[in-house]
Structure 1
Amino acid sequence: MQGITRRERGTLYILMAGVFLSFLNQTLMNTALPSIMHEFNINTSLGQWMTNGYMLVNGVMVPLTAFLIQRFKTRDLYLSAMAIFSLGTLVAGFAPNYGVLILGRMVQAIGGGVFGPLMNVVVMNLFASDRRGAAMGMIGLALNFAPTIGPTLSGTIVSYTSWRWLFLGIAPFMIVDLIFAIFNLENIGDQQFLKFDFLGVVLSSIGLGTLLYGFSNVGNGDWSNPNVWGFILIGLLITSSFIFQQTHTKVPLLNLKVFGYHNFWVSVLINVVLMTALYGGALMLPLYLQSVRGFSPMISGMVLMPGAIVTALLSPTSGKLYDQYGARVLAPIGLTITFFGTMILATLSMHTPIWVPVLGQFIRQLGLVLVSMPIQTEAFNAVPLALMPDASASFTTVRQISASFGTATLITIYSLVSLQKERAGMVTHLAQLSGIHVAFWTAAMLVLTAAFMTLLLRKREV
């Protein structure tokens, strides 16, 4: 990270710590959910609000960050976000009942929703376009290291002590980062005294919130449930109203002119297809290992770990390769590798040796590391610095919607195929395996589609 001052480098590391702690907190929850449900005597539908509540508030916050990043100084915004995030963590850790725990998670999401977009904007301001890939690769290291250690750390803590330490154990690190930020954080970029678009906030909050909630309700693939199609329909209508309002107001909450830059909208479109495939497909391997093969959650986590480790370790290298070759070269290679890894997972059977899914997931993640951060950096490099907060918020918002849609879609495919096979007389675990096969084949075709879409990217100017 040459070419920036020591204090600027300190600012970058402080923000990276915040992003890491935020992502780590998200990955800790799934393993702990059974223990939390048992302590508070709640069912699965209520338990899912541990993740759904966080996701909804986080999704609502992201469009607002475009305004916040421009309106407030980097230092003030980060300190406020980390203080809110820390408060939510302490509330959750000491929660006397499940309602307070959910409240703590939602307060966390208010602060956590700021970190990612703010981090992107700071990087784009600190680094020239030919060195942003390396910087984004370092961020990728922090982002990908969290899910690498999260499930293992969570499983260990829950096995030997209370789930509360998942919150109370990381709270001191947040407070230390907050103290470092107080004394060392610098302001990056220019502050603008923008008019607050109240109508835009209301429309985006209701629209995105109901849309994400609708997708989160497709737990069994039943799109006929009014809690699914009803909320999705309302979400689409209000989000469309939000887009119309943003393109016709003088001071928008989110400047959608970023989609007028060719490589930005192409990169966003590629990311939509990729996230649809990857997030939905990510659920299939644990289903195969635990529901079909009967392995323990610990074994399932160990199968996923080599792929997660390679993703974390190669993120900086991927960023440097992007600076040297660009997304037009790197992304097709990464997507092709991801395609072959997904194909391996689409052919798993009841008697496949355990090293085969390890290999398939490893190859899949190896390809992913060559495409995820490069595509994101390509999108941001396509727009001027003045529009960077809007680009970051737009990219992140679309990614979250795509991930939710992809999860809902592939769960639906899995459920429908499994149900059809069971009705035809196939035993349950084999019917589930058939559903997993079709879901992985669908994910593989989506990845291949994304690879062909990279041909739409224009050569970047040197």
Structure 2
Amino acid sequence: MDALINTKYTKLMAFALMLGAFVGLFGETSLNMALTDVMADYEIAASTAQWLTTGYLLTMAVLIPVSAFLIRWFSTRQLVIASLSISGAGAVLAALSPNFELLLVGRIIQALGTGIILPLMLSVLMVIFPVHKRGMVMGLMGLVITAAPAIGPTVSGVIITTIGWTYIFWISAALYLLLLIYSLIVVENVSTVTKPKMDYLSVVCSTVGFGGLVYGLSMFADNPFTAATVWMPLFAGVLALILFGRRQLVLDTPLINLSIFKFPMFSVGTLMMFISLFIILSTSILMPLYLKGTLLYTAAAAGLILLPGNTLNFAMSPVVGALYNKIGPKFFIVTGFTLITAANIGFLLVLSDSTPVWQVILLFMVMFIGLPMTIMPSQTNAMNQLPPGLYADGSAAMNTLTQVGGAVGTAIAITLFTIGQSTSDSSREIGIASGTHFAFYFITGIALIGLIASLFIYDSTKKS
């Protein structure tokens, strides 16, 4: 049986958590449309500017493993208030930053808050809603996870063109303040504070592990693999993650209980989430560069080109949530990855320096019909197989690997973009098109892996 907790403001509390996570995840990609402006303002290369996205994702990936402990050390209200306050402070610092370094610091602080509220949202929703209502609730949460980073470039494109890219942060700060006031009224304590002992060596291994992998991949954009700045962090990251895994198996109170991966649908569902966020984040950083740099659209126009796909994402997520309990996960996930793979193959076939924009719009729409069909069912089916005592660990592990997927996707996308761009001796527009096209080879391969893995999905509530 699920450990259901009754609350006075169940729906209002869920809304506060989802909106807080939405604003935080919107922050993941909101600067993607502004990267060319930031590069011009601070005179930096794309490989440096991408750290505004990669650094954000990496910070979340490093913090989220600790979230399982934070949830047991602090009350729900304390964590929500801290999350919104930290993110708001980071947004203000970023808005006021006079240089790239301070802008990056502001982004990292903002990500710290998001890294707290994202796993907290999933853990709380799993204990305040019964199983028969989780389909719709997870559908809405899937909308948050997919729509926020996807719509970031669209909304920010309008903001950049009309009032300037710094207002992305001012608007976020205002939303965080309003949410903080609202949360003080409706958020209740639903977690059990047990204050387990923190294993700091595990925290160090986790930080070095995930940080080393993403940093090494990011440095690969400007350096050969033989460079120490590439292979050393990659080697350190892999070694640290091996040590992290071995240590969790011998601790009485592990940072993350790795027994969650003994549940097959949790493992496959987490892989589905990893791949889905990899595709969302890699695409969301490439398409603005392509639309602005090759097809020469303004930030607002480029954002509007992506709007139909985002609109379908909004429309599909609640539909998938409503039908989930009737149809089950496999149909949605297999169909979703079929559409995602088809869209990526389409991008490989049509992307050039003279691609008709309707083709970009159509393929982006196909992709964002598929993504809501993979994320919510994967997440719900994965978490449903876990016993209530492992919800916090499952949430922490899934969200960590999801954000790592986004960070790795962003780093690899920019690395391949840079490599592909360097192979072209033609104009800047053709070079950007070549770089984007080259990156889509890898993204398509990842989508194919997701499609193959989706064939092994079964309903975790009907088969143990």
- Residues 16 and 139, structure 1, Cα contact 8 Å, conserved in 2: yes
Q: Provide the rounded CA distance (Å) in 2 between the counterparts of 1:64 and 1:165.
A: 31
Q: Are the structure 2 counterparts of residues 419 and 24 from structure 1 closer, same or farther at C-alpha, using a change threshold of 3 Å?
A: closer
Q: How many residues align?
A: 457
Q: 1:318 aligns with which of 320, 333, 341?
A: 320
What SS class does the counterpart of residue 459 from structure 1 fall into? coil
Deviation at 1:151, TM superposition (A): 2.8
Question: Are 1:31 and 2:37 an aligned pair?
Answer: no
Give the 3-state SS of the residue equivalent to 1:300 in structure 2.
helix
Residues in 2 aligned to 1:276 and 1:47: alpha-carbon distance in whole angstroms? 19
Asked if 1:371 is matched to 2:357, the reply is no
Q: State how far apart, in whole Å, the 2-side matches of 1:67 and 1:232 are.
A: 27
Q: Which residue of 2 aligns with 1:450?
A: 450
Q: Measure, in 1, the Cα distance between the counterparts of 2:45 and 2:431.
A: 26
One of 360, 363, 366 as aligned partner of 2:363: 360
Shift in CA distance, 183/459, structure 1 to aligned 2, threshold 3 Å: closer
Higher mean displacement: 186-195 or 110-119: 186-195
* Rounded Cα–Cα distance in structure 2 between residues aligned with 1:433 and 1:106: 30
Instruction: Tell me: CA distance 1:98–1:13, structure 2 relative to 1, closer, same or farther (3 Å).
Output: same
* C-alpha displacement of 1:196: 1.4
Q: Provide the rounded CA distance (Å) in 1 between the counterparts of 2:414 and 2:132.
A: 40
The one of 112, 121, 124 equivalent to 2:123 is 121
Matches within 5 A, 1:342-361: 342-348=344-350, 349-361=352-364
In the TM superposition, what is the alpha-carbon distance from 1:205 to its structure 2 partner? 1.6
1:333, distance to aligned residue in structure 2 (A): 1.1
Looking at structure 1, the residues matched to 281 and 152 of structure 2 have their Cα atoms a distance apart, in angstroms, of 17
CA distance in 2, matches of 1:193, 1:29: 37
Write out aligned runs for 1:86-97 (5 A).
86-97=88-99
**Is the Cα–Cα contact under 8 Å of residues 18 and 141 in structure 2 kept in the other structure?**
yes
Given the superposition, is the C-alpha separation of residues 43 and 148 from structure 1 closer, same or farther in structure 2, using an over 3 Å criterion? closer
CA shift in 2, pair 1:204/1:328, >3 Å: same
Cα distance in 1, alignment partners of residues 414 and 92 from structure 2: 34
Post-superposition Cα deviations, 1:208-249, rounded to whole Å, max 9, x if no partner, equal 222222222233584343322221111111121111111111
Asked whether the equivalents of residues 288 and 433 of structure 1 are also in contact (C-alpha less than 8 Å), the reply is yes
1:302 deviates by: 2.5
Structure 1: gaps of 5 or more residues:
none
Contact 1:19 1:115 (C-alpha < 8 Å) held by counterparts? yes
Distance 1:169 1:302, change over 3 A: closer
Give the counterpart letter for 1:460 in structure 2: S
Report the Cα distance in structure 2 between the residues aligned to 1:296 and 1:306, rounded to whole angstroms: 17
TM-score (norm 1): 0.88
In structure 2, give the amino acid aligned to 1:11: M
Tell me the distance in 2 between the aligned counterparts of 1:46 and 1:287: 14
Percent identity, please: 31
- What is the distance in 2 between the residues matched to 1:428 and 1:40? 20
Which residue type is aligned with residue 186 of structure 2? N
Cα distance, 1:374 vs structure 2: 1.0
The one-letter amino acid of 1:218's match is: F
Task: Give the aligned partner of residue 440 of structure 1.
Answer: 440
Report if the CA contact (8 A) 1:144-1:308 is conserved.
no
Amino acid of the residue matched to residue 112 of structure 1? Answer: T
Q: Distance in 1 between matches of 2:88 and 2:159?
A: 20
Aligned partner (choices 161, 164, 182) of residue 163 of structure 2: 161
When the two chains are superposed, the root-mean-square deviation of aligned CA atoms in Å is 2.9
> CA offsets, 1:160-211, max 9 Å, x none?
4354332223323211211122222111242322111111112212222222
Structure 2 residue corresponding to 1:179, chosen from 181, 185, 192: 181
Counterparts in 2 of 1:121 and 1:360: CA distance versus 1, 3 Å: same
Is the 1:334–1:367 contact (alpha carbons within 8 Å) kept by the matching residues of 2? yes
Match in the other structure for 2:105: 103
The 8 Å contact of residues 64 and 253 in structure 1, kept in 2 or not, is answered as: yes
Query: What does residue 304 of structure 1 align with?
Result: 306
Aligned-residue offset at 1:278: 4.7
- Distance in 2 between residues matched to 1:287 and 1:163, nearest whole Å: 16
| 335-344 or 114-123: bigger deviation | 335-344
